Structure 1
Amino acid sequence: MKNIILDRIADTKEKVRFSGNILVKKYNDVLLELSYGYANRSEQIENSTDTRFGIASGCKLFTSIAICQLVEAGKLTFETKLEDCLDVHFPNFDKEITVHHLLTHTSGIPDYFDEEVMDDFEELWVKNPMYLIRNLIDFLPLFQNQPMKLKLGERFHYNNAGYILLGLIVEQASQLNFSKYIEENIFKKAGMTNSGYFEFDSFPRHTALGYIDLPNGKWKTNIYSLPVKGGSDGGAYVTVNDMAILWDSLINNQLLNEEQTKKLLTPYVRTNDKNGYYGYGLWIEKNDSEIFKYHIMGYDPGVSFHSTFYPETSIKTVICSNKSQGAFDIMREIEEEVSN
């Protein structure tokens, strides 16, 4: 299989000038592990198996696991209303919004970055300097007083602000800083020893800088394109091996009990894709009545990420890139092979 996948991705890798790491595992067996490009272009430091990459919205799964852990611990329920579990006033929000609505992107609240009307994430930071965004509460002025975008439960509408609120709920229920909670209760518990929420101005070793390629052939890093520190809607850093460990820990009920794991993996709402659904913090694709795959993805300036678990074969794929594009193209080629 390794040689076939290598042949499949060869042309795509060159076409998109892929920079990043690729991992394909079946159970504990490594089927493919590759590194391309530079973690630091200026110093020509190459990406390697221990390079940490930003995964943007891929870490909404971490937030959902945290919420499920708190439900398991009796701190809240999925039907708990937003106004009952978060001491923040939202003057225009529907009073019936629940934790479940936030997890499934069906709350109808406004988003601070609405992908239906905005396509350049950098626009956000013209009036709101990214270097001031270091805590979840710093996001609230971007959407707190806006009117509802949709009626509650009207439809699936991918929403970053909803996951900011979930992170704040985690903080209030646990009395821990959000990133501290994730690091202690998910990363450490799973054995993800190289993952974390890092600030742009204090990266640890082996962390890839994100790169934005410009039309004139030049490039820039993404340090002025994103909040200085990620949070509950996106921005953690992982290695490909740590992400594979996360899938194993989740599927084997090591992070949640069996009941909560099943709830997280339940397809609750149809997305815009033909066979697409959303669970709690992850995308689900069905073939007829069977689950074909669970997957997470993330895109930011200088970041592209895809990771998938195929339950029928127990194959896990992780593609981390420190460029704005590339991960989806590589994932598509790999999936053509592993799904046959």
Structure 2
Amino acid sequence: MLKNKIKHICMKTGFSGVIYAKNNDVALIEQAFGYADRPEKRKNRMNTRFGIASGCKLFTAIAICRLVEEGHLSFGTRLTDCLKNEFPHFDPAITVHHLLTHTSGVPDYFDEAMMDDFEDLWKMQPMYHLRTPRDFLPLFQNQKMMFAPGERFHYNNAGYILLGLIVEAHSGMSFDQFVEKEVFKPCSMHDSGYFSFDRLPGNTAIGYIDEENGSWRTNQYALPVKGGPDGGAFVTAGDMIKLWDSLLSLRLLSKKMTRTLMSPHTETGEGDYYGYGMWIGNRNGEIGIYHVMGYDPGVSFASAYYPAAEVTAVIPSNQSSGPHNILRILETEIL
């Protein structure tokens, strides 16, 4: 019944991607739709890799938590004590906690509350130059603060770029190498990684931007050539399920640190909260959902864990929208 309903909705809306939901070890739905490569008619499959945009801010938060557990820094450590880069207008009170919770007030290179066309960024800074966290600094490091640290929540991509630089400074490794070693490997996420657009591995879905006139184009020139701390990793739906399983079973972090990561740290202004790298939804006065999401041109992603029902869902797509509509249907039908 559920599979037929989901299939009908996906066919009607033209959804392209994968839907995977499970209750403990029992799969509730595993379905793939659309094409990973439209001209070649290569279909999406359950093990297809998808870009997940900001959905991987959770990986960055976990990386920081691992460094805190190892004693390299604390959540109260100031940005100025972590990095030697020049930030002439940044408030010296900015801490790691502020960056993790989008309450730092640092200027953003792409402010989603003010800008609606991500591709405008590359008119002055070619996307093919952006391969490391450091490459993003000229986009924001000399700008003025938006507000004082801790004053309010304001979703911020640049803050996670800074967290990636902190990971590099304290680990002696590149950001992507650290995440692949300290996050992906312990979870057995063998098919996931930070892949360059010019070196995509096999079985990877190409992102498509659908135009109003019915035409389409790939997102190859719409995003940084390689993802990093604020977004852009590629995962399979199965690997993302492994991430949730590993996090919840304390294979990534200690019980105390996992609780810290998944605690509501700041209100988002919409009745819900933000933890470290994840959104936390209030349901009837209790935590009803932990979730991550991502949107980029040609990429959309939604993944959630529902603690009361012990259900985990992962919905990646190689189009600019779609997963959240499917997630709402799953919530209605399963929960």
> Shorter-normalised TM-score: what interval?
over 0.9
Matched, 1:169 2:166: yes
Which of 151, 155, 164 is the aligned partner of 1:154? 151
2:313 matched residue in structure 1: 317
CA contact (8 A) 1:37 1:46 kept: yes
Which of 116, 119, 122 is the aligned partner of 1:119? 116
1:6 matched residue in structure 2: 4
Normalising by structure 2, what TM-score? 0.98
Give the Cα–Cα distance (whole angstroms) in 2 for the partners of residues 157 and 139 of structure 1.
19
Q: Secondary structure in 2 aligned to 1:293?
A: strand
**Deviation of the 1:11 alpha carbon:** 4.5
Give the Cα–Cα distance (whole angstroms) in 1 for the partners of residues 284 and 73 of structure 2.
34
CA contact (8 A) 1:56 1:234 kept: yes
Q: What is the correspondence of 1:169-208 to structure 2 with a 5 Å cutoff? A: 169-208=166-205
Matched, 1:232 2:229: yes
Give the Cα–Cα distance (whole angstroms) in 1 for the partners of residues 284 and 327 of structure 2.
22
Which of 22, 26, 47 is the aligned partner of 1:25? 22
CA contact (8 A) 1:283 1:296 kept: yes
**Deviation of the 1:6 alpha carbon:** 3.4
Matched, 1:51 2:48: yes
Q: Identity of counterpart residues, as a percentage?
A: 56
Q: What is the correspondence of 1:169-318 to structure 2 with a 5 Å cutoff? A: 169-274=166-271, 276-318=272-314
Would you identify which runs of 4 or more consecutive aligned residues in structure 1 move more than 3 Å?
A: none
Give the Cα–Cα distance (whole angstroms) in 1 for the partners of residues 156 and 65 of structure 2.
19
Give the Cα–Cα distance (whole angstroms) in 2 for the partners of residues 308 and 103 of structure 1.
19
Give the Cα–Cα distance (whole angstroms) in 2 for the partners of residues 163 and 247 of structure 1.
20
Unaligned runs of 5+ in 1: none
Q: Secondary structure in 2 aligned to 1:304?
A: strand
CA contact (8 A) 1:12 1:329 kept: no
Matched, 1:109 2:106: yes
Q: Secondary structure in 1 aligned to 2:220?
A: coil
Give the Cα–Cα distance (whole angstroms) in 2 for the partners of residues 321 and 179 of structure 1.
22
Give the Cα–Cα distance (whole angstroms) in 1 for the partners of residues 258 and 145 of structure 2.
31
1:328 matched residue in structure 2: 324
Q: Secondary structure in 1 aligned to 2:214?
A: coil
**Deviation of the 1:264 alpha carbon:** 0.1
CA contact (8 A) 1:55 1:235 kept: yes
Unaligned runs of 5+ in 2: none
Give the Cα–Cα distance (whole angstroms) in 2 for the partners of residues 331 and 124 of structure 1.
30
Give the Cα–Cα distance (whole angstroms) in 2 for the partners of residues 57 and 272 of structure 1.
19
Give the Cα–Cα distance (whole angstroms) in 1 for the partners of residues 269 and 203 of structure 2.
37
Q: Secondary structure in 2 aligned to 1:319?
A: strand
1:16 matched residue in structure 2: 13
1:89 matched residue in structure 2: 86
Give the Cα–Cα distance (whole angstroms) in 1 for the partners of residues 73 and 109 of structure 2.
26
For residues 56-99 of structure 1, what are the alpha-carbon distances to aligned partners after superposition, in whole Å with 9 as ceiling and x for unaligned?
Answer: 00000000000000000000000000000112111001100000
Give the Cα–Cα distance (whole angstroms) in 2 for the partners of residues 168 and 22 of structure 1.
33
Give the Cα–Cα distance (whole angstroms) in 2 for the partners of residues 312 and 295 of structure 1.
14
Give the Cα–Cα distance (whole angstroms) in 2 for the partners of residues 11 and 161 of structure 1.
39
Q: Which amino acid aligns with 1:12?
A: I
Q: Which amino acid aligns with 1:282?
A: M
**Deviation of the 1:240 alpha carbon:** 0.3
CA contact (8 A) 1:5 1:334 kept: no
Q: How many pairs were matched up?
A: 335
**Deviation of the 1:10 alpha carbon:** 4.0
**Deviation of the 1:286 alpha carbon:** 1.5
**Deviation of the 1:289 alpha carbon:** 3.6
Normalising by structure 1, what TM-score? 0.97
Q: Which amino acid aligns with 1:233?
A: D
Q: Which amino acid aligns with 1:296?
A: V
